[in-house]
Structure 1
Amino acid sequence: MKNRSIEKVVFAQEHAMGDMYVKQPLPSRQVNYLDPFVLLHHAKYEIEEDHPLEFAGVGPHPHRGFAPVTFVFEGGVSHQDSRGNVGTVYKGGVQWMNAGMGIIHSERPAVSGTHEIIQMWVNTPARNKMDQPTYHPLKAEEAGNFVSNDKLVHVAVASGELLNVKGSIPTLSLVNSAMIRAQKGGSLFIPFGESHNAFLYVLGGKVKIDGQVINKHHMVVFAHDGEGFELEILEDTKALFMSGEPIGEEIVSQGPFVMNSQVEIMEAYRDFRKGKMGVLIE
């Protein structure tokens, strides 16, 4: 199989989100939108033992028109929403929520100590933007697991299919997602659909792809000239890999909503203010 080359390497600049700072390679000046991937936020923070968990994290807020997805690399996250869904996942787990026509949710730390998460915003097709919301929590032990021949690279597949391993989370368009943990000296070829847009984000460690060294807090965006990529592990590494079939529709992303027009954004704000997305009292 032919290796894809690297199209861009994007450094994750730091952004303030309320009281929290996150690293954000997408959107950025280099990549505004990688259809169907809208946004990537990488957060690493400490929760002190005496800090009330119910006041930490992110409080109730609305979404419409896309899937906010949380990958938990360290710690734990507790979810509540206005549709009555409640769930908690810990290290290695994933929470995938299709916001659909509108939902209000909160995400709070489930434990004290070190937390490291990635929140991805994955666009959904126009035909699904006003669907009923759904919530899919995935525990670490429920992910599809693949271990490289050298036993040094572990791939936990949450959605789609990678390395002949299927993820159990249903998606509204074809999206492959996997959390990667690897030890120095490991290597693995990861194949995926030729038509897919794809990226690898390195949370920690150092890897080599297509002859180029990639350090932590960088996102690799792949060109459309091959069937996968060879991953070489230069230091113990944590990474997120995602690939997806482009939806091919214009989007407008504003505030907590991702729609197809400015009018639909205005309608989303109106419906939120009218209470049509429900109420969440924690």
Structure 2
Amino acid sequence: MKTIKAIHPASYHPIADLITYNPLPSQNLRQIDPFIFLNHHGFQTYPKNNNGLPFGPHPHRGMETVTFILEGDIMHKDSGGHESVIEKGGIQWMTAGSGLIHAEVSSGKFKKEGGDLEILQLWVNLPSKHKMTKPKYVGLQNEEITRFELDGGKISVQLISGEWNGYRGPLETISPMLMSTLYLKPGSSFTKIIPKEENVFFYVVRGEVQIQGENIPFRNLIEFNNDGDSLTVKASKDSVILLGHAMPFNEALVAHGPFVMNTQQEIMQAYQDYQAGKFGVWED
């Protein structure tokens, strides 16, 4: 069994009127290579005639964003010409690569009608050889994502990428990676085989789970040692977790604002390229 190295509680960092918790990075944890950043927005209920999400046009380079829409919606637009509105249960996977500008805001319907909102965004690093890959965006609604059950139907697995129990997620990632969202009933449990050398991304979104006799409530990120090849999880309450695993890149990491590269010189180049209009043209 993989043993727990540390438990990292998410810290509260609101963005305007958006409730936001951030467990990664923190003072004690820089990354779980190749997973480098997580924001947990909500849970909260927006009133009618609200301003919605505050993430207007901004650039990225050198990384990918994976966005999990548990409640509410996201309207995506980018300088590569991609546009979509992804609703409850859906996900977005954007490869920033060589650079693009995007905005993530709420739909006109959500801003008018209000409603519940809970959204998580994870940043995944790109290896140096793929930092300047062509930007790409995929938005999938709930019904387009692979689902299967564990523990006699007590656990529902939403498999986004990778393989598990003979099922395959709909997204093909640049570097091999499993990414999933799990919905667990109280008293349910599962065991996942994970190669010893792979790093595990494990975040408790809702509820409470138990690992190796330790109770872990929601808004906690668990860091594991690379000392076993399996992971057993039990749910104490109705719970939701994000679970991913991948081989670490073991490369230098330099992050500044929206850019994630390998050297400070590459960060400076990213800013120069953005200011020179090389990330595409933004059209309202």
Q: How far apart, CA to CA, are the structure 1 residues paired with 2:257 and 2:143?
A: 34
Q: How far apart, CA to CA, are the structure 1 residues paired with 2:139 and 2:192?
A: 25
- Listed as ranges, the matches of 1:30-179 within 5 Å are 30-44=28-42, 45-51=44-50, 53=52, 56-110=53-107, 111=110, 112-179=114-181
C-alpha displacement at 1:152, in angstroms?
1.0
- Listed as ranges, the matches of 1:240-259 within 5 Å are 240-259=242-261
Q: How far apart, CA to CA, are the structure 1 residues paired with 2:128 and 2:237?
A: 41
Q: How far apart, CA to CA, are the structure 1 residues paired with 2:99 and 2:230?
A: 36
Query: Structure 2: which amino acid aligns with 1:69?
Result: V
Q: How far apart, CA to CA, are the structure 2 residues paired with 1:202 and 1:221?
A: 12
Query: Structure 2: which amino acid aligns with 1:174?
Result: P
Query: Structure 2: which amino acid aligns with 1:169?
Result: L
Aligned counterpart, 1:279: 281
Q: How far apart, CA to CA, are the structure 2 residues paired with 1:31 and 1:161?
A: 28
Instruction: Decide which moves more: 61-70 or 83-92.
Output: 83-92
Deviations 1:100-154 (A, max 9, x none): 1100001112323111111011000111111110001122112221211331111
Q: How far apart, CA to CA, are the structure 1 residues paired with 2:141 and 2:249?
A: 28
Deviations 1:220-264 (A, max 9, x none): 112112222111110001111111111121110110000010000
Q: How far apart, CA to CA, are the structure 1 residues paired with 2:17 and 2:273?
A: 27
Query: Structure 2: which amino acid aligns with 1:223?
Result: N
Q: How far apart, CA to CA, are the structure 2 residues paired with 1:52 and 1:213?
A: 37
Instruction: Decide which moves more: 225-234 or 263-272.
Output: 225-234
Gap runs ≥5 in structure 1: none
C-alpha displacement at 1:281, in angstroms?
2.6
Identity %: 36
Q: How far apart, CA to CA, are the structure 1 residues paired with 2:16 and 2:245?
A: 30
Preserved CA contact (<8 Å) 2:183 2:240: yes
Preserved CA contact (<8 Å) 2:16 2:54: no
Preserved CA contact (<8 Å) 2:151 2:188: no
Preserved CA contact (<8 Å) 2:204 2:217: yes
Preserved CA contact (<8 Å) 1:257 1:268: yes
Q: How far apart, CA to CA, are the structure 2 residues paired with 1:39 and 1:59?
A: 19
Q: How far apart, CA to CA, are the structure 2 residues paired with 1:89 and 1:191?
A: 31
Q: How far apart, CA to CA, are the structure 2 residues paired with 1:241 and 1:278?
A: 33
Aligned counterpart, 2:216: 214
Query: Structure 2: which amino acid aligns with 1:250?
Result: A
Query: Structure 2: which amino acid aligns with 1:155?
Result: V
TM-score scaled to structure 1, two decimals?
0.94
Preserved CA contact (<8 Å) 1:210 1:229: no
SS of alignment partner, residue 235 of structure 1 = coil
C-alpha displacement at 1:16, in angstroms?
3.7
C-alpha displacement at 1:198, in angstroms?
0.3
Aligned counterpart, 1:5: 3
- Listed as ranges, the matches of 1:158-237 within 5 Å are 158-237=160-239
Gap runs ≥5 in structure 2: none
Query: Structure 2: which amino acid aligns with 1:46?
Result: T
TM-score scaled to structure 2, two decimals?
0.94
Q: How far apart, CA to CA, are the structure 1 residues paired with 2:133 and 2:16?
A: 30
Instruction: Decide which moves more: 115-124 or 24-33.
Output: 24-33
SS of alignment partner, residue 236 of structure 2 = strand
